[in-house]
Chains A and B, each alone.
Chain A
Amino acid sequence: MYTLRFSPDSASLIVRLILEELALPYEARQIDRAAGELSSPEYRALHPLGKIPAMETPNGPMFESAAILLYLSDRHPGLAPAPDAQDRAAFLKWFFFTSTNIHTTLMDIYYPERVAGDAAAGSVVTHASAKMKTLLAAINQAAEDNPNWLSFEQPSLLGYYIAVLMRWLGQNDPEATGYIKASDYPALHKVLAMLEMRPASLAVAAAEGLGKTIFTMPS
């Protein structure tokens, strides 16, 4: 049994989609951000940085969304190549690429002042937005071969991770530098369109009030 500490439409969404897709029993417990729960000693015991998500597991508390995904997928196979599979290497490099490059660059776009203060925020967004397009083009190219770890036809760990990140980029103001239109990345768009129709996505979208077409045309 897992207990996911979540806040709607935050990084916990990535983990929740995977829990649903793997049909694992879990409890979703909403974090009361307004009441400062992220800074509470109880939450800090789960996650010393006070970020979302954290998840309680039989092996103790987990955090870092990508680490949680890999932990889950190694315990409950089906959404990523097994450790001894031939394509494990290809999967791992793009999975870490997504975590260390795409996810971090997305944070720079949304919270540029954390990087270098208010004065440099505009410049940080400009750099990060240009970089994001290069990063997405690279992974879109990897997706063109329809590998089973980022497939058009079946759900995958990496597919969901990218889909959520692209959801957030698509929520940006279309006039903003950091706005990304999923259809500009055709291979990724196919992955997103398939994933948003999955029962797992529909269930999570309903639970968190995210609306329809949560990946290709997020509201």
Chain B
Amino acid sequence: MYVLHYAPDNASLIIRLVLEEMGLPYRTALVDRRIRAQDSAEYRAVNPTGLIPALQSSEETLFETAAILLWLSDKHGQMAPTIGDEHRGNFLKWLFFTANTLHADARLLFYPEQYAGSPDDHVAFRGKTEVRISKHLRLLNDIAASAPPYLNKERPSVLSIYICCLIRWINLYPVDRKGWLPLHDYPALFEISKGLQDRPATHRVADAEGLGPTIFTEPHYANPPEGSAL
């Protein structure tokens, strides 16, 4: 039984969607952001960086979204090319790209204060970051257009879930820029997100975290039964 340390509509959503999709038994442990539980000694013992998510298995406590995704897919032989598969290398490069470039840049939009001091700086940030993010998404959209096994609309993968969730948040944050990203500029990714959104696994998670029925194509802020997104 896995334990997912989560907050509604946080990066833990990526892992939760994958756990549901793989049909694995898990329970959730809320990290209550209203009292900044991510900074508590208890949570720091789980993840020294204080970031959400963390996943406890019987063997180890994992953190870093992409590490968890890769570990789960290898362990359960699902939702990503296995070792020795001819697509493995390509899958790895786009997984790392998504983690250290797209996700890293998305964090600049969500948490500008962690990267530079004054609110004046945040405006400069935003402009530059939005340009970079649009570029990253064009690149990923080109890959998705060629429909490789690890990024296509027919079958969900850990990478497609990761990217669609990031696009969701990029569209929601910061709040005063809600909806800035023209989703239709990335048609292959948009098709993938439509497919994912209609899956039973996605509906179950969306219900559990109060995300509504169109979590990718028309995202709304979470209205969760417990905890809070911010």
Interface residues of A (CB under 8 A from B): 48-49, 57, 59-60, 62-64, 66-68, 70-71, 74, 83, 86-90, 92-93, 95-97, 99-101, 103-104, 108, 114-117, 119-120, 123-124, 126-128, 131, 135, 138, 141
Contact = CB atoms under 8 A, between A and B. Distances in A.
Contacts of A117: 124, 128
Contacts of A141: 48
Contact of B57 (A64, A68, A89): A89
Interface stretch (B91-99, B157-165, B187-195, B206-214): B91-99
The 3 A-B residue pairs with the shortest CB-CB distance in the complex, in nearest-first order: A120-B121, A96-B67, A89-B60
A115 B100 contact: no
A92 B62 contact: yes
A74 B89 CA distance: 10
Interface of B: 48-49, 57, 59-60, 62-64, 66-68, 70-71, 74, 83, 86, 88-90, 92-93, 95-97, 99-100, 103-104, 108, 114-118, 120-121, 124-125, 128-129, 139, 142
Given A93-B63, A116-B115, A127-B115, A74 B88 contact: yes
10 contacts: A71-B88, A90-B60, A92-B62, A93-B60, A93-B64, A97-B67, A101-B49, A116-B129, A119-B124, A123-B118
Interface secondary structure of B, over-half rule: helix
Given A64-B93, A92-B62, A120 B125 contact: yes
B60 A127 contact: no
B90 A60 contact: yes
A86 B59 contact: yes
Contacts of B93: 62-64, 67-68
